[in-house]
């Protein structure tokens, strides 16, 4: 079992471990260290101890499967109305590089109804093999049905790597699969590389509120699973001459799923998918009144972008949840992000800090958003945004 073991005969009560612990989880009693309940097992205390009095004991993981049986790189081919979403093409581009390094095929898993044309598209974007399951039950995404079918295919063909887009559906599907297979999942990756010698997927993602980049591996279980942020990988140029194999695999389609999708409804004001937008114009409390959302929408329309929002105005009912960006909303990485009247709470920054260029408008010069903004405008958003709209219109026309 993982834990910190204290060798009391070696501990001198020097308090070095207290200084090293970032969580204040150590105290000294009777000149001996004691670990408190808020210990996160980060191990910082163990490495700081000069007397080897704190021993970090790591649980030896049990290997449940023969990892040498697993070969190949897979991409979950999420589709909407029979068309692969853009992050799938991006994952095929990155998956192609990983597969070539491992010298294995790159495959896509496509579930849906009447989606064979999509299978051909996936091949033009780099897939060698497409595992296709065509059924009316799979016409619309369904957690239970998609998870059950996907796991059947995994158990049959045994891939060593599975990449899934960090979309709403992808973030729901991936943990269900990983928990059912008792394997690891690294969510929200922004970088993927291969350790060829150990055949390990090096999965890099922001951690601790974006202050560090962590590289995570899954050495003892297969498949290795990642969800990947949209817009961080590059897709290949489609090649119509590419030849691949479409395998219509036999699976048992679940007949008694608990959740039934009766109708799909698109938000009227969601002209552009927030996760795929190159430009996002987001509003916060600084717009003061829901009626002022129209100037945010106008700026987004002029720039061909999407409208985002802070949690504060979503909670106030000024705009729908599907526009919320942040820790409890969507994580986006556009080329340009306008933060209009957004103070920059850490929960919001967690959802947009990886944007290429951040432009902040806020009348408070000390607003935290300016600490991460590439360009900052100190001013009333109700005055600045209309001026930006006017200027962009004149230049675009």
Asked whether 58 and 2 are in contact (CB, 8 A), the reply is yes
**pLDDT computed for residue 283 by the predictor:** 97
Burial class of residue 232 in the structure, from the number of CB atoms within 10 Å of its CB (0-12 exposed, 13-18 middle, 19+ buried): middle
pLDDT digits (tens, 9 = 90+) for 223-232: 999 999 887 8
**pLDDT computed for residue 263 by the predictor:** 82
pLDDT digits (tens, 9 = 90+) for 120-132: 999 999 999 999 9
Q: Is 130 helix (H, G, I), strand (E, B) or coil?
A: strand
pLDDT higher than 90, residue 25: no
**pLDDT computed for residue 358 by the predictor:** 96
d(CA 132, CA 249): 6
pLDDT higher than 90, residue 2: no
Quick one: which of 305, 289, 286, 287 has its CA closest to 297? 305
d(CA 156, CA 172): 22
Q: For the chain, how are helix, strand and coil distributed in percent, rounded to 5?
A: 30, 25, 45
pLDDT digits (tens, 9 = 90+) for 294-326: 999 999 999 999 999 999 999 999 999 889 998
C-alpha distances in Å from residue 349, one per residue of 93, 101, 206, 213, 254: 28, 35, 12, 15, 40
């Amino acid at each position: 079992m993982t834990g910190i073991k204290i060798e009391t005969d070696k501990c001198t009560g020097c308090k070095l471990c207290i200084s090293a612990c970032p969580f204040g989880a150590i105290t000294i009693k009777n000149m001996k260290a004691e670990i408190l309940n808020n210990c996160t097992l980060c191990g910082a205390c163990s490495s700081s101890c000069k007397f080897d009095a704190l021993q970090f004991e790591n649980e030896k993981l049990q290997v449940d499967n023969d990892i040498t049986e697993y070969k190949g790189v897979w991409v979950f081919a999420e589709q909407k109305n029979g068309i692969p979403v853009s992050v799938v093409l991006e994952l095929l581009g990155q998956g192609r590089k990983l597969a070539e390094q491992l010298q294995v095929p790159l495959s896509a898993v496509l579930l849906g109804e009447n989606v064979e044309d999509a299978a051909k598209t996936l091949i033009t974007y780099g897939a060698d093999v497409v595992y296709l399951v065509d059924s009316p039950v799979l016409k619309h995404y369904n957690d239970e049905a998609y998870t059950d079918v996907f796991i059947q295919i995994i158990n049959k063909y045994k891939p060593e790597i599975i990449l899934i887009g960090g979309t709403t559906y992808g973030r729901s599907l991936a943990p269900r699969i990983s928990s059912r297979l008792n394997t690891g999942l690294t969510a929200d990756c922004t970088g993927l590389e291969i350790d060829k010698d150990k055949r390990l997927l090096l999965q890099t993602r922001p951690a601790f509120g974006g202050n560090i980049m962590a590289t995570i591996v899954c050495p003892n279980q297969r498949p290795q699973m990642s969800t990947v942020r949209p817009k961080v990988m590059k897709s290949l140029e489609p090649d119509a001459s590419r030849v691949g194999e479409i395998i219509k695999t036999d699976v048992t389609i679940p007949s008694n799923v608990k959740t039934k999708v009766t109708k799909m409804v698109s938000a009227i004001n969601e002209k552009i998918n927030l996760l795929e937008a190159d430009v996002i114009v987001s509003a916060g409390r600084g717009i003061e009144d829901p009626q002022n959302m129209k100037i945010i929408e106008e700026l987004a329309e002029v720039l061909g972008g999407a409208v985002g929002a802070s949690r504060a105005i979503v909670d106030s009912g000024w705009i729908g949840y599907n526009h919320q960006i942040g820790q409890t909303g969507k994580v986006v990485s556009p080329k340009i992000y306008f933060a209009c009247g957004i103070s920059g709470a850490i929960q919001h920054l967690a959802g947009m800090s990886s944007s290429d260029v951040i432009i902040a408008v806020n009348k408070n010069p000390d607003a935290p958003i300016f600490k991460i903004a590439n360009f900052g405008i100190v001013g009333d958003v109700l005055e600045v945004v209309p001026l930006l709209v006017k200027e962009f219109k004149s230049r675009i026309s």
